Amino acid sequence: MPRRNGESLRIAVQSNGRLTGYSLELLKDIGLEFEDHERRLFTRCRNFPVELLFLRDDDIPEYVADGVADLGIVGLNVIHEKRAEVDRLVPLGFGFCTLTLAVPANASIRSPSELEGARIATTHPVSLARYLDEEQIGAEIVELAGGAEIAPALDVADAICDLVSTGTTLRIHDLRQIGDVWDSEAWLVASPGLDEGSGRSALVKRLRVRLDGLLTARRLKYVTLNAPREALPRIREILPGMRSPTVVPLADSGMVAVHAAAQEEVFWEAMERLKEAGATEILVLPVEKVMR
For residue 228, list its beta bridge partners.
Answer: 255
- Find the DSSP H helices in the chain: 20-29, 60-65, 76-82, 125-135, 168-172, 199-219, 232-238, 268-276
272 near Zn ion, rule: CB under 5 A: no
Please state, in angstroms and rounded to a whole number, the distance separating the CA atoms of residues 9 and 32. 12
Q: Is 168 in the site for ligand PRT (CB under 6 A)?
A: yes
- DSSP letters, 115-173, are GTT-EEEES-HHHHHHHHHHHT---EEEE-SS-GGGTTTTTS-SEEEEEESSSHHHHHT
78, 65 in Cβ contact below 8 A?
no
User: Total residues at the site for ligand PRT (CB under 6 A)?
Assistant: 21
Nearer to ligand PRT, 18 or 259 (CB): 18
Q: Which of residues 214-273 bind ligand PRT (CB under 6 A)?
A: none
Residue 110: how many CB atoms within 10 A of its CB?
11
DSSP 242: B
Closest approach, Cβ 14 to Zn ion, in A, equals 8
Q: Does 58 bind Zn ion (CB under 5 A)?
A: yes
11 vs 258, beta carbon nearer ligand PRT: 11
- Measured between alpha carbons, how far is 232 from 252 in angstroms, rounded to an integer? 16
Shortest reach from residue 105's CB to ligand PRT, in Å: 15
Give CA separation, 277 vs 20, 156, 224, 234, 241, in Å. Answer: 45, 62, 14, 7, 17
Which partner in ligand PRT, Zn ion, none is near 107 (CB below 5 to 8 A by kind)? none
CB of 157 vs Zn ion, minimal distance in Å: 21
When asked if residue 78 is in the footprint of ligand PRT (CB under 6 A), the reply is yes
Binding to ligand PRT in span 98-117, by CB under 6 A: none
The site map against ligand PRT for 1-20 (x = CB under 6 A) is: -------------x--xxx-
Looking at the DSSP assignment, which residues form a beta bridge with residue 101? 161, 179
Euclidean distance between CA atoms 66 and 21, whole angstroms:
25
Residue 21 touching ligand PRT (CB under 6 A): no
- The pairing of strands 221-228 and 280-286 is antiparallel
Q: Of residues 37-76, which lie at the interface with ligand PRT (CB under 6 A)? A: 56-58, 75
CB 65 within 8 A of CB 189: no
Q: How far is the CB of 130 from ligand PRT (least distance, A)?
A: 17
User: Contact between 62 and Zn ion (CB under 5 A)?
Assistant: no
Residue whose CB is less far from ligand PRT, 62 or 162: 162
Report the C-alpha gap between 242 and 258 in whole angstroms. Answer: 10
Residue nearest to ligand PRT (CB): 75
Q: How far is the CB of 75 from ligand PRT (least distance, A)?
A: 2
Cβ–Cβ < 8 Å for 210, 31: yes
Return the number of the residue (108 or 168) whose C-beta is nearest ligand PRT.
168
122 contacts ligand PRT (rule: CB under 6 A): no
166 belongs to the binding site for ligand PRT (CB under 6 A): yes
- Residues in contact with Zn ion by CB under 5 A are 57-58
Q: Which residues bind ligand PRT (CB under 6 A)?
A: 14, 17-19, 56-58, 75, 77-78, 95, 97, 162-169, 184
